[in-house]
Amino acid sequence: MIAIPAIDLREGACVQLVGGSYAAERVRMDDPIAVAREWQHQGFARLHVVDLDAATGRGNNAARIRAIMNEETAEVQVGGGLRSSQQVADVLQDGARYAIVGTRALEDLSWLAELADEHPGEIILAADVKERRIVTRGWQRTLSRTILDVTEEISSLPLAALLVTAVHKEGQMLGVDLPLMEDVVDTAAFPVFAAGGVGSMGDLWALQDRGVAGVVIGMALYTGAVDPRTVAEEFAE
């Protein structure tokens, strides 16, 4: 299992939100490029960079993302507001190893299928989940289908991974949703990544034991709840 630090961008800064709420911003660091360098210095081989402003129609942090990718020492997976084939192609061309798609892909599975065929092994589908229901548009809309329904529907697609974020756990460091992740892993035909709720090394070991291939870690790294270098060494691939 690989551990991947989250760099969530809002108004040019690196932030961490609690429970997927923009009103509950707990961490703000004004220089995300310095943050990216620090995570690379600690030994992480991949970074998870998401443009929260683009995801919610509040603007974009494209220049900051390009600057992070230009560091060229870690793989970068990039998401947030990628809702056209051209946007996906552009971010991959700019240097992202993987493009993360969410809202449009979940609301239009035929577009996701086309995208996966165009970029096999380069697309990560990100599903934000509250009590197994998928939420899109920056957590503002709840879909009728569950995450397991969607996972079954897309099982034949050549995706790089499915990233499932337990929004009801996000930023709280009170433990991950293990039953959710176990069920998704059992259903999926491709690697499954987890996010939301990590607060200890035990959470990471538990996810690995359930077959999770990668975990995106935010608050626990930024607050020191887990030691970055230890995490990077223990969960390197």
Q: How big is the CA angle at 136 (ends 5 and 174), to the nearest 5 degrees?
A: 45
What is the residue-averaged pLDDT of the chain? 92
30 is a catalytic site residue: no
Q: pLDDT class for 23, splitting at 50, 70, 90? A: low
pLDDT tens digits along 88-142:
999 999 999 999 999 899 999 999 999 999 999 999 999 999 888 888 766 667 7
Select which of 8, 53, 183, 203 is catalytic: 8
Number of compact structural domains in the chain: 1
- For residue 97, what is the domain's CATH number? 3.20.20.70
Q: What percent of the chain has pLDDT over 70?
A: 93
Where do the H-state alpha helices sit in the chain?
Answer: 32-41, 52-55, 62-69, 85-93, 103-107, 109-118, 147-153, 178-187, 201-209, 219-222, 228-234
pLDDT at 138: 62
**Non-local CB neighbours of 24 within 8 Å, separated by 6+ positions:** 17, 18, 171
Is residue 14 classed as helix, strand or coil in its secondary structure? Answer: strand
Residue with tokens 């359930």, as numbered in its chain: 210
Q: Which domain holds residue 89?
A: 2-234
Among the listed residues 53, 128, 183, 203, the single catalytic one is 128
Reported as a single tens digit per residue, the pLDDT across 187-224 is: 999 999 999 989 999 999 999 999 999 999 999 999 99
Look up 128 and say whether it is catalytic.
yes
Residue 213's SS3 state is coil
- Which residues have CB under 8 Å from 170's CB, separation 6+? 17, 18, 19, 20, 195, 196, 197, 218, 219
pLDDT score, position 17:
78
pLDDT at 73 over 90: no
